[in-house]
Every structure is written in structure tokens, then in C-alpha cells.
Amino acid sequence: MRYYRDGFRPGDPDIKDAAPCRRDINSQYRQLPEKVDVLIAGTGPAGLCLAAQLSQFPDISTLIVEASPYNIQKGKADGINTRTMEMFQAFGFADKVKHETYWVNQTSFWMPDPENPAAIKRVGRVQDVADDSSEMPHILINQARLHQLFLDVMKNSPSRLVPDYSLSVKDVQIDPTTDDHPVTVTLEDTGVNWGQTYTVRANYVVGCDGARSNVRQAIGGKLEGDAANQAWGVMDILANTDFPDIRQKCLIGSATQGNVLLLPREGGYLFRMYVEMDKLQDGQRLDRNSFSADDLIAAANRIIKPYTIDVKEVVWWSIYEIGHRISDKFDDVPDDQRDSRMPRVFVAGDACHTHSPKAGQGMNVSMQDTFNLGWKLAHVLTGRADASLLHTYSAERLVEAKRLVETDHKWARIMSAPPGQSEIDDGDEPRMIRQFKENLEFTGGNAVVYDPSLLTAAGKYQHLASGEGLGRRFHSAPVVRLTDAKQMQLGHAAEADGKWRIYAFAGKNDTSNPDSAIHHLADWLAHDPASPVVKYTRIGEDVDAIIDVRAIFQQTFEELAFEDMPTLLKPKLGKLGLMDYEKVFCVDHKGLGDIFDMRGIDREQGCMVVVRPDQYVANILPLNAFDELASFFAGVLVEQQ
């Protein structure tokens, strides 16, 4: 973390200098703005993830509204997969999350004891995060706490962004004849001035307002799919039990009483149970009033026999019906108008896809939706890219939403299947365990693959970095920073700042001498008129304002000299022109792993790995592929000079 670029200042380094153009958030009589660049509906994980990104751009005016009077305090989702933890690292609070939360290390499976079917028996354990699938853990956290972490990022940003509570979106109207804030949003007061309406005009609107999204309905979107005809209860409890795996994630199936998913929670005592309740008939709707917390506790005790749970406090509970639905559209543009019309209204998270909580993906995929959208909106609104870039949001996230719904549909039915239907033909392994293992990449959030497009190159040079799949998230690995010999993860050099990254991996024996491939690349990037760094960086900006170039060498830090590095890798930045000492890395020399071997980097040639602002691999190129690098960025960015 670097925080003295523009001069020394005391205090908390997470609190950034406030922008002079920010909206006044301190006055209790503050007025809603008449116009904003982006209006976000909903302060769930999707809305807050988007707001936290946009808050880093004080020139972008953002308004986020929420129908509730304040942030939630308990309940709702709790699972954060490894991919989302990698994203949290970019926001700067992954270490805090790791410190506070429960880490899911093993998953235990319990099924009826063949010798006593009325009792359950442990039938297996599976390592929850496969080795080297990520440097991050799979964790469980109260959703309200996660909200607060995003709210802190917003509050400490240059924009000092905070939500406007007790406001819901009532209506959205789009005027396709103008580019001047063409979306008119009618907001309705849900607080002390109940029913009063306000009008705000926006350039873009993002509906993160849940499965009953008014924003989605305003653009004609419909959630389509089916229901599993199964009622489940969920409860967070403090309890004593003789069940031996209470501090492990457990999937428990009884012979006749249904299933339980048990999830330990943060703090050492709290845990969550998802309890299978009644089957529903086709077309039957769940009557939540017919259940109580005591019903869930009684059902859980029937399922886990011969063990018992003695509940001391019910922190939160709810009843829900499993459904798998996806919206037919993620933005306001009809399919037959995509060549002539740019999107203005988007939906994300539960507003465009709903599913069961069994795979732990709801909160994760929702945040990944808006992590995808946020940098694209920032690019367009700051003049870095053409508005056509925004078409890629629906194109990319609709595919992933379909994958999510299809995988969850299959998994939810396995979870609810009677024990006799949970075995494979030869009886060697329960179907549930087998499917769980097959799903590990998916449940870790690492199965996302974006198809070739203007943002993702085809696989011409994939062989140069076989472990960094094109269209997949950049898979971090250990390195050592040259100047201070710090062991770290290369991926942790990136922040949620809307910048592209070029990781230049040096070839064999390259130590950055003046005639080396790394030196030639850096000199071209810094000085050639065709260079994307030159073309897309504005006059007066830091050289890494939009494209951040880092180099990784095969030698250890003792074998390289910082003074031999090209100027692009030791740039002078900020108001004071201070040198950046954090652009050059070496292989780890203390046994944590060699990034070249771990990620299949060609040792002879080296290569460039181009990474998008949302941490996905956009291109892989030889170090001397100057024209191809220039051509790739020309398809995405708008020339600034």
C-alpha cells in the first residue's frame, strides 16, 4: 500500500484526501442531486461493490439509494469464495476479512449408517480449497459486516460516498433521443416522508435491488426458470451439541428426515444450519407463516440423530423456497438494436439471477457482476473508452449467470435427493461427495471463462503462459519485490482502481541490460507514439494512470540491480515526482514457489500477460509483439493525445 505519493500526511492511510467537488454528506438537510452520472439502486453486495469502485473517481457523480432505513445487522448470505477474496485484496480489506472470519478448510459428509439407518455416520471429508487453486481461503462472514467493509471504502474515498437510505426506485424512464442524462428515475421515500417522490436524472442506472427489482421491471426484464418445490429453513444459532464436526462445514443426509447443511461462522461459537423442510406440490407457494424457529430446530434434531443440538439463542432465521431463475435481459437494449443503441440501464445480482444458497454463490456472483461493470462505466464516463464497451457487460455476465443457474440447479437436487439416490452405481462413493469434488473450481469462483471478444484475445500465444488462461482470472503466485526483498503475491500489486496491468515476464538470462527484451519493451512503451501507454495516458497524468506495467525476472533479488532497470519500471509519480520502487519483481528464493514454473511461463522467451481492471487475463503476447499489443488496446481505449 502506497500513500505518500502526493506528500506526507498523518493519520489513517485508508482515508484518502477528499475531492473538492464531492457532495456534502454531513448536513442532515442535504438535498438529492438533480443529475448524477450513475444511480445505483440497492445497498446489497452488488450495489456496494459497484459504489466502492466508482467512489474512487471523484469526477464521476454517484448516488446509491436503499429502501431500508439503514444497513442490515444480521442474517442473509455468509459465504465468500476464493475468487471474491482475491477481489477483496484489490479493495484493500482482504487481510481484515481473513482475520475476522471462519475459514472453511474441510467439508465433512454424513449419511445414514448402513448398520443403523436411523443414525447418521461420517462417510468422508474433502479439502475445501484445492492446493494452489488460490492463495486465498474460502471464508464465512456475516453479510452485514461485509456491507460495512464496502461502506468504509466508500466513506474513506475521495468522493466520501455514502448511501441515501429510505429511498426506493419507483419508476425508470429512458429518453433515447438525448445523451444528456437520458434516464429519469422516480424515487419514493420509504421513511419519515413516506410516499413522497423525487426525480433524479442519470447517465446510467444500475438495478441491484433484488429479485423483485423495480429497475428490471422498468426495462421489461423477466425472471424465468423453475422452482425445486422444496422448502428450506436457515438459522444462525448459538448452541451446544455433541455432534463432533460442529466446527467444520458439513453436508448431512438422513434416511427419512431430510438434509442439513451446517456452516460454522465467525467468532468461534456461532453456526448456521440450512434445514430441509417440506416438499411442495407443483405450483404450491411456500406459506412462511406455517413455520417457526422451533420447527427448524426440531427438524435439525431429527436429521442428525443420534446427536442433538441444544439451542441457547436464535440470532436470525428465515424460510425460503428454492428457485432457479434468470432474467432474459441484463440491460435495456433490445437484441435487434445492439448495433445502433448503447445501454443506459443495467441489472445485477439477484435482480437478474436467483438460485439456491447451497453452492454459496449468490453473494459472490452478485459482486462479480458489478466488479465487471464498474470499471467499464468508469472508462466510459471518464472518456477512456467508447460507450460500446458497455455492451460487454451483458455479453459476459449473462453467460456466467446461465452457468451458475445450471450448476446450482443440479447441485440443489443432489442435496435434496433421498439417500438411496445419492450413491453411484458401484457404491464406492456417495454421489454428493463426487459432485462436490467436481464442483470445487466452480464453488471457488474460478470457473469463469470469458469468450474471445474485444476484451479477451484468442489463444494464439496461450502456450507462452499456459497457467494463465485467457478469459480466466489472473492466477497469482509468489514473487519477491526487488527493492526491498519482500515476499508477496504478484496479484496483490493490483488495486480496484480501474487500471490495466501488463505483467512482463523476462526470458532466460534477461537482467534488463540495455539490449534485453524487457528493456526494449519498456523503452517502446514509454516513448513510441504507437505505444498504448503513450496514446492512452493524458498529458500531465502519471505514466501508470491507465496502464500499469510490472516486470518479473527469473533471477533472485541478489542477482539484479534496480539501477539497471528502464525508466518505465522506476517512474517518478505524483505531485512531488517521487520514484516508484514497486514495479520490479523476482522469483521467490525461499521456497514458496517459482512463478514461472507454477504458471507455465515460457522461460526462454518470457511473455507479456495483459490483465483487465477486474483481474481477468485479456491477452498473452511475446515481449516483442509491439504491433499486436497496440492493436489490442486500440480496440478498447480511446486515444487521449
Class of CATH domain 79-141+226-323:
alpha beta
Q: Quick one: pLDDT at residue 277?
A: 81
Q: Quick one: pLDDT at residue 10?
A: 79
Q: Are 223 and 212 in contact (CB under 8 A)?
A: no
CA 66 from chain centre, in angstroms, equals 21
Q: Quick one: pLDDT at residue 7?
A: 80
Q: Would you give the DSSP letter of residue 96?
A: H
Percentage, residues of the chain above pLDDT 70: 93
For 241-289, the pLDDT digits (tens) are 999 999 999 999 998 888 899 999 999 999 999 998 876 445 545 566 7
DSSP 408-438: HHHHHHHHHS-GGGSB-TTSSSBHHHHHHHH
Q: Quick one: pLDDT at residue 417?
A: 64
Is it the case that residue 22 has pLDDT exceeding 90? Answer: no
Residue intervals of the chain classified under CATH 3.40.30.20 are 462-634
Q: Which cell numbers hold the place of 188? A: 419514493
Is it the case that residue 5 has pLDDT exceeding 50? Answer: yes
Q: Quick one: pLDDT at residue 258?
A: 87
The lowest-confidence range among 282-296, 358-372, 468-482, 555-569 is: 282-296
Q: Quick one: pLDDT at residue 561?
A: 94
d(CA 111, CA 433): 11
For 293-313, the pLDDT digits (tens) are 999 999 999 999 999 999 999
Q: Quick one: pLDDT at residue 357?
A: 66
Q: What is the pTM of this model?
A: 0.94
Q: Quick one: pLDDT at residue 334?
A: 92
Backbone angles phi, psi at 565, to 5 degrees: -75, 150
Is it the case that residue 31 has pLDDT exceeding 80? Answer: yes
Q: Quick one: pLDDT at residue 288?
A: 64
In this prediction, residues 451-476 reach a mean pLDDT of: 97
Nearest to 459 by CA among 637, 612, 617, 624: 617
For 521-533, the pLDDT digits (tens) are 999 999 999 999 9
In this prediction, residues 436-459 reach a mean pLDDT of: 91
**Which one is predicted more confidently, 429 or 552?**
552
For 553-608, the pLDDT digits (tens) are 999 999 999 999 999 999 999 999 999 999 999 999 888 899 999 999 999 999 99
Is it the case that residue 424 has pLDDT exceeding 50? Answer: no
Residues 6+ apart with CB under 8 A from 55: 62, 153, 154, 157, 158, 159, 160, 161
Q: Are 374 and 349 in contact (CB under 8 A)?
A: no
Is it the case that residue 61 has pLDDT exceeding 60? Answer: yes
**Burial category of 590 from C-beta neighbours within 10 Å (exposed 0-12, middle 13-18, buried 19 and up):** exposed
d(CA 291, CA 462): 54
For 216-234, the pLDDT digits (tens) are 999 999 888 776 556 789 9
Q: Are 305 and 118 in contact (CB under 8 A)?
A: yes
- Domain 462-634 is found in CATH 3.40.50.720: no
For 375-405, the pLDDT digits (tens) are 999 999 999 999 999 999 999 999 988 888 8
For 152-196, the pLDDT digits (tens) are 999 999 999 999 999 999 999 999 999 999 999 999 999 999 999
Is it the case that residue 497 has pLDDT exceeding 80? Answer: yes
Percentage, residues of the chain above pLDDT 90: 76
Where residue 406 falls among pLDDT bands split at 50, 70, 90?
confident
How many Cα atoms sit within 13 Å of 130 on the Cβ side? 13
Helix (H) or strand (E) holding 313: strand 309-327
Q: Quick one: pLDDT at residue 587?
A: 96
Is it the case that residue 214 has pLDDT exceeding 50? Answer: yes
Where residue 425 falls among pLDDT bands split at 50, 70, 90?
very low
Residue intervals of the chain classified under CATH 3.30.9.10 are 79-141+226-323
Is it the case that residue 29 has pLDDT exceeding 50? Answer: yes
